[in-house]
Amino acid sequence: MEIYVVQSGDTFYAIAQRYGLTTAQLQAANEIPDPAKLAVGQALLIPTPTAVALSYTVRSGDTLYQLAQLFGTTVSAIAQANSISNPAQIAVGQVLTIPGWSQSQYTVRSGDTLYQISSRYNTTASLIARVNGIANPALIYPGQVLTIPQPGTAAVTPTSIESIAYFQISGISRLEQSVAQLGQYFTYGALFHYPVSATGTLTISANTQRAVTALWNQNVKPLAVITNWGATGTFESELARTIMSDPAVKSQTIANTLALLNSYQFAGVNVDFENMYPEDRPLYNSFISDLAAALRPRGYTVSLAVAPKAADLPNASWVGAFDYATLGSLVDLVFIMTYEWGWVGGPPMAISPINQVRRVLTYAVSQIPAAKVMQGVPLYGYDWPIPQTPERLAATVDLVNVYTLATDYNAAIQYDTTSQAPWFRYTDTGGQQHEVWFDDARSVTVKYQTAQEFGLRGVGFWSPINQPYGFTANWLIFDERFNVSK
């Protein structure tokens, strides 16, 4: 697939025409809220049409040798592709299939030149003229349908991976809709969340059975996400310490987790304890060891969500409690939250900058087998008020309607090449300035290439909402690059 970045003056119709697509095909790949409104700098995924072999009509004076030279192939290859027994004998008007080449159609518009058209398709004006029998390349006319020759490109070889998608169990109807639509892309569905109390009890959502059934119906393995989420509405350090340090509470937590998995037919657990005290690292290692010892022999998958870091940093807040090497040896898979560099408290920046992601993964695979590591991909953006201060938090934006925000305020989308992320600024009707960072077709492509490069077990997705769950182009790119193991 190809990615096209919208330029000033572009229209949805003209872009579709340029690539030989209908507007419906282009819209299906990009889910544009209003195709009449495009933002300059917006990335559009160009779906690859089914390849049509290039047909060439023999003209007076042609020989197979000349055609082989023209198309960078051999006489024997052309002869074999067309069942020609005597390569010295071809007839004027004979239609030949050119091996290794495909063709598309382009309808000439007013103002077009053959040179401009050839530049768009990365070919030459002379080759287009030759294929179409145009004696004078300067003479083309609006409405003329041209055959555009294109050399075959190496197809992306899909990598077999596993994937994990986090869903908000509170939004059950939207969860069911997204899983029905996208379930083919997920190995595991992690239901967020089941908070653990200071006595080791779990808060179990009334939506649990519906959510588990929805996942199994799409052959997605449900995981119960247990957390140290407390009454303050956040991850609590003291709560985590109580759960892990009191032997009775720890035993009760493990017993209740096992009961939850048994009662609702979960495939396993995902532990998402965050904001732990760095000095509680041994407690966390011990808790995970005991949990894995209770669950893994019973056939349950034991997985973790861990904060990202590019070195051990045992005394650092937020990340110090995570002993990558020990934890990786105890569990089946480790989901690394490679996002939130840009966070609601600011300052504005890429949420998942690829330069930082690569630093984290380089360290992670030195401590944990790559076959256990999953790279986190954020399916959301942030909109910060400018100037940003600690008390002025960013608003979350989804990756479909972010373009409505840009077009409503006539903002041009920029692309930061260091972080490999799109962003834009706008001023709202009240005069408040904003800065928005998010992900698009370009940035997720780089993330998937990175996962392939590091040979990871796979990738995982975090979204604060169940619908839209990401954006359409993301799943087309993901599908092109990966075969998801179930």
Hey, which residues are catalytic here?
A: 274
Query: Cα separation of 14 and 109, whole Å?
Result: 10
- The residues facing 343 across adjacent strands are none
Measure the CA–CA gap between 341 and 320, rounded to whole angstroms. Answer: 17
How would you classify residue 113: left for phi > 0, otherwise alpha for psi between -120 and 50, otherwise beta? Answer: beta
In sign, the C-alpha dihedral spanning 148, 149, 151, 156 is positive
| Tokens 């993901």, residue located | 478
d(CA 210, CA 175): 10
Q: Please check whether residue 335 is in contact with residue 164, taking contact to mean a CB–CB distance below 8 angstroms.
A: yes
CB 484, CB 187: distance < 8 Å: yes
186/474 Cα distance (integer angstroms): 13
- Within a 10 A sphere around the Cβ of 134, how many other Cβ atoms? 17
Both tokens of 464, joined, read 């604060």
Q: End-to-end CA distance of the chain, in Å?
A: 25
Distances from the Cα of 21 to the Cα of 4, 16, 357, 421, angstroms = 13, 5, 35, 27
Strands 301-306 and 333-336: parallel
Taking the CB of residue 431, how many other CB atoms lie within 10 A of it? 6
Instruction: Report the alpha-carbon distance of residue 162 to residue 484 in Å, rounded.
Output: 5
Cross-strand partners of 426: 434
Of the candidates 164, 165, 134, the residue with the CA atom closest to the CA atom of residue 149: 134
